[in-house]
Amino acid sequence: MTLRALFVIALTLASSGSGASDNLIISDAWVRATPPGKMMTAGYASIENVGKDVITITGVSAEVAGHTSLHETRIERDRSTMRPVAQLSIKAGERVSLKPGGLHIMLMKLSELLTDGQSIDICLELENNDSLCSAFSVARHRKAAHHH
């Protein structure tokens, strides 16, 4: 009986360990190509929570960037300002758009210029210490959408 109980507990932990990242779908992911001399850019995507619980993004990372963070653009006193966002909670069934002029990913201190046609990986770090990485295509302007 005790062995069976341990097995059930282990199975429950293993199945719950599938992680919140399995419930996030990233689509339309792209990063703006960097002009010569610029070592920062922004990334955009659509992020959908297909799970039953709120999923909180606590950070982002990319190998090509020395510093990466979520940002939002706001209009204050007729001026556009950007500020970091500590975390982004996505409710069950909700889709959040990271787009120019709104929420976006800032990639700073780039190790290389990003050119049109290239692809880079960006990882979303989640509250439960899980992460979800996805390929972001590099483009001068938004191109036709594709899903991951």
- Reported as a single tens digit per residue, the pLDDT across 69-113 is 999 988 878 888 889 999 999 999 999 999 999 999 999 999 999
pLDDT band at 7 (very low <50, low <70, confident <90, very high): very low
**Contact yes or no for 35/114 (Cβ under 8 A):** no
pLDDT digits (tens, 9 = 90+) for 65-80: 999 999 998 887 888 8
pLDDT digits (tens, 9 = 90+) for 129-148: 999 999 999 999 875 444 44
For residue 75, what pLDDT is reported? Answer: 80
The distance from CA 76 to its chain's CA centroid, rounded to whole angstroms, is 26
Return d(Cα 83, Cα 132) in angstroms, integer: 23
CATH code, 19-139: 2.60.40.1890
Average pLDDT over residues 54-73: 96
Return d(Cα 114, Cα 100) in angstroms, integer: 17
For residue 82, what pLDDT is reported? Answer: 86
For residue 143, what pLDDT is reported? Answer: 55
Spell out the domain ranges in the chain: 19-139
For residue 17, what pLDDT is reported? Answer: 47
